[in-house]
Amino acid sequence: MRKILLTASLLALAIASPAAFAHKEGDIIVRGGAATVDPQENSSRISTSATGKIDGTSAGVNSDTQLGLTGTYMITDHVGIELLAATPFNHDISVKGIDAALGTPAGTIDGSFADVKQLPPTLSLQYYPMEASSAFQPYVGAGLNYTIFFDDNLTGRQKANGFSNLDLDNSVGLAFQVGTDYMLTDNILVNAAVWYIDIDTTATADHSALGKVKVDVDVDPFVYMVGLGYKF
């Protein structure tokens, strides 16, 4: 009898508890959290007007973490459109192989070269396979990224070495993502997401002896974000 009463009580509680409806047509979902841009860079050889392409040289880009923000509008119960934004990411740019190739003392040019800020606004179409009543909402998405590079500054050491006029081209490329939301309440959720973004840039600078210096870099980062969200 106690088991029957306990079972009946649990069923009554389940029926009385409102379902935590997740995403449905017309919803606006705002998410925010820590976002890390982790470049998987692959660069060309560095070239100069005086030497052409220099064997054994390359450029690198480090990772950075900032506040990531996304906003999604649910077109249907299963399809949404999302805009990814963030506070500006700041990346250190390094070079290697130049000193060995030019015969300059180690550490003269190699090492930290510059720092640059970037913003990666990305517009994606997303698909949510679960029903709207599910608290667990995984999704996949694909879209277009436009990365803006700005505040590109050479280090003081490189300015003293004769470099000037650093410039990085902006980038347009495809973006792919996977993520998941879990509804804590009807409106509050936790989120985790990963993007792979195709970012390519050409960096140029002037040098007092070498002339125009140039390198092509495929940045191609993974972007990881974990945070909270609110559904309106």
Which domains, and CATH codes, for the chain? 2-231 (2.40.160.20)
Measured between alpha carbons, how far is 37 from 222 in angstroms, rounded to an integer? 6
Alpha-carbon dihedral angle through residues 98, 101, 102, 103, given to the nearest 10 degrees: 110
What confidence score (pLDDT) does residue 133 get?
81
Q: Which tokens belong to 156?
A: 């003081």
Could you report the per-residue pLDDT of 166-193, keeping only the tens digit for each?
999 999 999 999 999 999 998 999 999 9
Could you report the per-residue pLDDT of 108-117, keeping only the tens digit for each?
999 999 999 9
What confidence score (pLDDT) does residue 4 get?
39
What confidence score (pLDDT) does residue 21 get?
59
Rounded mean pLDDT of the chain? 90
Residue 8 pLDDT > 70: no
Residue 7 pLDDT > 70: no
129-135's contacts with Cβ under 8 Å and 24+ in sequence apart are: 129/78, 130/22, 131/77, 132/21, 132/22, 132/23, 132/24, 132/77, 133/19, 133/21, 133/22, 134/22, 135/20, 135/22, 135/182, 135/183
What confidence score (pLDDT) does residue 111 get?
95
Q: Scanning the structure block, which residue is given the tokens 């300059």? A: 104
